[in-house]
Structure 1
Amino acid sequence: MVNSPPKPTVPESEAKIKALKENILTPRFYTTDFETAAKMDLSAQETELQAMLAEMRADYNRHHFIRDEQFNGSWEHITGEARQAFIDYLERSCVSEFSGFLLFKELSRKLKNRNPLLSEMFNLMARDEARHAGFLNKAMADFGCTMDLGHLTKNRVYTFFPIEWVLYTVYLSEKIGYWRYIIIYRHLEKHPENQFYPLFHYFESWCQDENRHGDIFKALLRSQPQLWKTWQSRLWSRFFLLSVFATHTLTVHERTGFYHSLGLDPTEFDREVIRKTNETSARAFPTVLNTDHPDFFRRLQRCSDLNLQMSEIEQSSQPRWLKVLRKLPLQMKIVGHLLRVYLIKPIDAEALRETVR
């Protein structure tokens, strides 16, 4: 509850433009091979894709992302580490959603005359991502800062990913986003005293956008046999799962103050999100990781501890060359732990798919 008298939020014109803090965990902007994307044969999943396209056209959340009177309050009571942790959460979430918007919009534009079904699908997903990014940016304005998304569009370096990698990574991004939102939402339903800002009331419908997008990418992935029928696809599935899960663990433990303010244990939250995303991924990927192996979370936690040590070094006043030198052995240890996790015997999702559970 807000105890201070309500007051208008900070006008966006008066909000401070927040500079994006770049590090290895900062969400990237992507581009891809549009020619290969245009040539994808979707016939194996066309019925499912058409059904999901109809659902996207229905736009169930078109009236959802509208700020109501709950936002007409003062947020000055959120201070210190909790305030900064929440702003950092909003920043990364906003950049991540905006990254999805840019990629989907460009795919839609480039495929318009080559693959109309895929073009419209990406256009509607871009619509959703734009709403999410805009809503998060307005939330940042309540705390006196905003992201200059136009500046980011023009000045940020874009990373090239083959379309096959895009299908793997965006599927995982959407599904892990779903589980993050729904777990927070369900927790706050049980503990409304920790609901310190109205954004969280929107998470139930919000996460359904993430789930729909993930289902679309599952259908796209399953329409391409080379992405789930080959031995290479088994290796890539494990690689992308581990990459996304390791990034999640490191990010969660970098902003523990945010999760504590919600009444969540960061480590338990991280592990539940990873377990649920891994289970969901078994519906799309040929193999998934064995999260029950005793080394799995132990080594991911060790990577997080090493990452926090590197953050302390980075924040020190030492010369740049000395920081690089001191971080190098820690980086090598992280790589070693991740390699050992990767080599844990995976779970054959294709075999499980034929088993009644």
Structure 2
Amino acid sequence: MVNTLPKPEIKTPSKETVLTPRFYTTDFETAAKLDLSAQETELQAMLTEMRTDYNRHHFVRDEAFEQSWEHIDGEARQAFIEYLERSCISEFSGFLLFKELSRKLKNRSPVLAEIFQMMARDEARHAGFLNKAMADFKLSLDLGTVTKTRTYTFFPIEWVLYTVYLSEKIGYWRYIIIFRHLEKHPENQFYPIFRYFESWCQDENRHGDIFKALLRSQPQLWNTWKSRLWSRFFLLSVFATHTLTVHERSGFYKSLGLDATEFDIQVVRNTNETAGRAFPVMLNTEHPKFFPRLQRCAGYNLKIAEIEGSYNPKLVKLIRKLPLIAAIVWNLLLIYLIKPIDTEALRGKVR
């Protein structure tokens, strides 16, 4: 008699909110017309590296996964499943965007098309690995259905370059910080996926470097007053989203032995410093009001979640939430108005 594992239940994806990972589409015609000549040498070198596919044998489950995970239960189990789902949707979102860019650019910009094809390959691996991890907890996402039912947000290609660059670099810092922490505290490594994070984060880093080259190939994205304003906006948007979501899931980070606030600060500071190599400005994270205002926004967001989970009528919920939403917007505006650091002026200097 052959024993077979029970088929995992198909999980209904979490409700889409402002903070959940989104699916994107863009202006493929404009993307095809991008002049990449200023960064052609760098992009060719990166394409050669991507063809090497250093991680092609990395995402293979070993015997450490072959056990029951029923001992991870209660809030810790739910928090980890939410982490896996959010990560899987985020990686799959990147796969869909890169795959479509590769398909649409194949005959117009073959080098760029192949780069996107290689990045789509990586993102598909990541999403599949995360979905298999969810199956260990008897749940799985039907990514085919998610593709058809998820809302797609249109971003101009310029916004895609800004946001995907930041997404990849913040992903790198998240993975490597967790990996290094668990190296020092193996007693908190409650599931084997974390052992894969060191090589995994190098995929994120390579993708980020590709988007840096794409961004720097377009002077209008870094040498104009508009580009400075957009850079500040996207940096703040990504950091605010990170701060709010990390504090929403503080229980997950606690299970890893991490303090959510300290983890968030470390990720934001490192990502901001890294972004200074690509963006014309970076945010002044050392300003005494920077992190306190971000953390204040996280507190307001938790109160909004409490109200949303109450049994009050929708109108009452809205009335109670409005002052908190206004407070978040106000604090983010005050952070935005903090004088940024001019990275172009620092370019070429030892930092």
Alpha carbons 2:122, 2:203 under 8 Å: kept? yes
Match of residue 111 from structure 2: 117
TM-superposed deviation, 1:148:
1.2
Q: Which amino acid aligns with 2:311?
A: S
Give secondary structure in 2 for the equivalent of 1:294. Answer: coil
TM-score by length of 2: 0.98
TM-score by length of 1: 0.96
Match of residue 190 from structure 1: 184
Match of residue 86 from structure 1: 80
Alpha carbons 1:9, 1:73 under 8 Å: kept? no
Matches within 5 A, 1:24-173: 24-173=18-167
Identity %: 77
Is 2:303 aligned against 1:309? yes
CA distance in 1, matches of 2:59, 2:35: 35
TM-superposed deviation, 1:144:
1.3
CA distance in 1, matches of 2:13, 2:162: 30
TM-superposed deviation, 1:18:
3.1
CA RMSD between the two structures: 1.1
CA distance in 2, matches of 1:178, 1:209: 8
Q: Which amino acid aligns with 1:250?
A: L
CA distance in 2, matches of 1:354, 1:215: 18
CA distance in 2, matches of 1:9, 1:38: 48
- Aligned equivalent of 2:237, options 222, 236, 243: 243
Change (3 A) 1:304 1:10: farther
Q: Which amino acid aligns with 2:217?
A: S
Alpha carbons 1:28, 1:99 under 8 Å: kept? yes
Structure 2: stretches of 5+ with no match in the other structure: none
Give secondary structure in 2 for the equivalent of 1:19. Answer: coil
CA distance in 2, matches of 1:249, 1:242: 10
Alpha carbons 1:10, 1:141 under 8 Å: kept? no
Alpha carbons 1:101, 1:130 under 8 Å: kept? yes
CA distance in 1, matches of 2:259, 2:127: 26
TM-superposed deviation, 1:9:
9.8
CA distance in 2, matches of 1:253, 1:336: 19
CA distance in 1, matches of 2:294, 2:67: 40
Is 2:194 aligned against 1:200? yes
Change (3 A) 1:319 1:10: farther
Q: Which amino acid aligns with 2:37?
A: S
> After superposition, what is the alpha-carbon deviation per residue over 1:71-130, rounded to whole angstroms, capped at 9, x for unaligned?
001111111111111111001000000000000000000000000000000000000000
Match of residue 177 from structure 1: 171
Give secondary structure in 2 for the equivalent of 1:159. Answer: strand
Match of residue 338 from structure 1: 332
CA distance in 2, matches of 1:310, 1:163: 33
CA distance in 1, matches of 2:4, 2:236: 40
Matches within 5 A, 1:286-301: 286-301=280-295
Worse-superposed segment, 320-329 or 131-140: 320-329
> After superposition, what is the alpha-carbon deviation per residue over 1:317-355, rounded to whole angstroms, capped at 9, x for unaligned?
111121112111110110000000000000000111132
CA distance in 1, matches of 2:18, 2:307: 15
Q: Number of paired residues?
A: 349
Match of residue 271 from structure 2: 277
Match of residue 5 from structure 1: none
Worse-superposed segment, 318-327 or 102-111: 318-327
Structure 1: stretches of 5+ with no match in the other structure: 1-7
Q: Which amino acid aligns with 1:64?
A: H
